[in-house]
A and B are shown apart, each in its own frame.
Chain A
Amino acid sequence: MSARYDRAITVFSPDGHLFQVEYAQEAVKKGSTAVGIRGKDIVVLGVEKKSVAKLQEERTVRKICVLDEHVCMAFAGLTADARIVINRARVECQSHRLTVEDPVTVEYITRYIATLKQRYTQSNGRRPFGISALIVGFDSDGTPRLYQTDPSGTYHAWKANAIGRSAKTVREFLEKNYTEEAIAGDNEAIKLAIKALLEVVQSGGKNIELAIIRRNQPLKILEASEIETLVAEIEKEKEEEAEKKKQKKSS
């Protein structure tokens, strides 16, 4: 038997904290922002695109990944850790299809990812995964779902959430602006995601990557031109709002 590290790295502190897990959550807070929105017939994932070096191929930097035809996820934190988790999740999606002859539910694959993450907080010689994930998709009965996992291995369902750098700001924005009319249609939900990201992203639409899943359709990553169009619409709406307010004040 090979030499094994039998000393656990994640141990309790005297006041009941798992410091390694909390440090992992700090690593997540350094990652670029990701936002997820659950609409009525659409789920939206938006991420802040980090600016790439001049000689770097832009296409190789992908923060939104497909887990199966009807489920995808975005992450914030250590990209290498995310790759491992995504690979395991993809295999589990197919394994589930093979054994159960049904596609995974979003909750099932979230539970799998969360269990995987938890096991790495309670085993010898391994450190926790330094990523939080936003998992979106549709169940086979057509219900849209959004889940968030974090390095400790907990998961929760959300109507809208953000992770990564400035997640708090974005979440406050969403709490104020996520209303029934804000997600009334597909376009409105997409615009809400863009608006949320514009709060924290510098230099506007160029640094936003957006992906949507519509019911019974595969993941679609929006083109830069489509995002520009939507950003322009949002700017116009903002101006119109400002105009209306001015008129109200003066009258």
Chain B
Amino acid sequence: MALLDVCGISGWLKENGFNSKAASVDKVNHFSFAARTPEFAVPVGVDPGTFLKPLTDSEDGVNGVKIKLDHGTTTLAFKFQHGVMVAVDSRASAGSYISTQMFKKVIEINPYLLGTMSGSAADCVYWERLLAKECRIYKLRNKERISVSAASKLLGNMVVGYRGMGLSMGTMICGWDKKGPGLYYVDDRGVRLSGNMFSTGSGSSYAYGVMDSGYRYELSVPEAYDLAQRAIFHATHRDAYSGGTVNMYHMQETGWIKVSQEDVGELYHRFADEKK
């Protein structure tokens, strides 16, 4: 543009990659599934990854400043013959302070898709709500519900652009689509895995222990409910950063149902009574 040329800035703009490379006809359109639209402006000049790495990864941080993100939570999901079980705790912690015991760690994207959240609450809530928006737009454009693999791929593609910039998100996308029940683990590094059983968060090891010892694909529905509930309960019992209530969902062919929301204190007494 003429004014930029007169000021002598246009040369500098070109050097630093500010010229619009793509003509307007070829710009990102609604077929790119939000993969290429940058959600956040990233500061010019400094590579955010290298800037943040010493702050988050090293022991002492930089000049005593450290960004330490705790992943206080336990979530789990597993596939079995009657669909997918999803169970989460509901404690949100900031360090050793419990912010709330009633946090919703499962986002209901649509009647056939659920997303769990672990890691930084803000990151999870933001990106999964963005995913829900993309899923709704997909349904409007294509007149059919998005598949679980596509939804998880979208989420993975959205966050991989911010890899190394301090996001913290570990989520499981569960759903039922034309291909049957689907379960994917997606995290902030862009890892996307399909599987039969996942557990995330600080209490995941405890949950895995209980789940692995009781899991069979041929579980009946009440057995699966019991296994999922027990796994979360035992994790909340031993992990300081998990607690509150156990929220359980069952993904069936006709969509998900919320099975139960039980306080872990009451579960403790119920399981203790069983032993007697």
Contacts and interface: CB of A to CB of B under 8 A. Distances in A.
Interface of A: 1-2, 92, 95-96, 99-102, 105, 108, 112, 115, 119-120, 123-124, 126
Interface in B137-156: 142, 146-147, 149-150, 153-154
Contacts of B142: 105, 108
B29 A100 contact: no
B25 A119 contact: yes
14 contacts: A1-B1, A1-B10, A1-B13, A1-B20, A2-B19, A92-B31, A99-B35, A100-B147, A100-B150, A101-B150, A102-B150, A115-B31, A123-B24, A124-B24
A1 B25 contact: no
A99 B153 contact: yes
Interface string B1-32: 10010000010010000011001110001011
B33 interface: yes
B19 A1 contact: yes
Nearest to A4: B23
B204 interface: no
Contact of B25 (A92, A100, A102, A123): A123
B25 A120 contact: yes
Nearest to B179: A102
Question: What is the interface residue range for chain B against chain A?
Answer: 20 to 34
A126 B26 CA distance: 12
B229 interface: no
Interface of B: 1, 4, 10, 13, 19-20, 23-25, 29, 31-33, 35, 142, 146-147, 149-150, 153-154, 157
A1 to B, nearest CB: 5
Contacts of B149: 100-102
A95 B36 CA distance: 13
A119 B146 CA distance: 26
Listed from nearest, the 5 A-B pairs whose CB atoms lie closest are A100-B150, A101-B149, A119-B25, A123-B25, A99-B33
Contacts of A2: 19
A123 B22 CA distance: 13
Contacts of A101: 147, 149-150, 153
Given A120-B25, A123-B25, 14 more contacts: A1-B4, A92-B31, A99-B150, A99-B154, A100-B147, A100-B153, A101-B147, A101-B149, A101-B150, A102-B147, A102-B149, A115-B31, A119-B25, A119-B29
A95 B29 CA distance: 13
Contacts of B1: 1
A123 B25 CA distance: 7
B15 to A, nearest CB: 13
Contacts of B147: 100-102
Contacts of A115: 29, 31
B265 to A, nearest CB: 43
A109 B157 CA distance: 22
A115 B33 CA distance: 15
Nearest to B30: A115
Contacts of B4: 1
B255 to A, nearest CB: 21
Contacts of B23: 123
A73 to B, nearest CB: 17
B157 A99 contact: yes
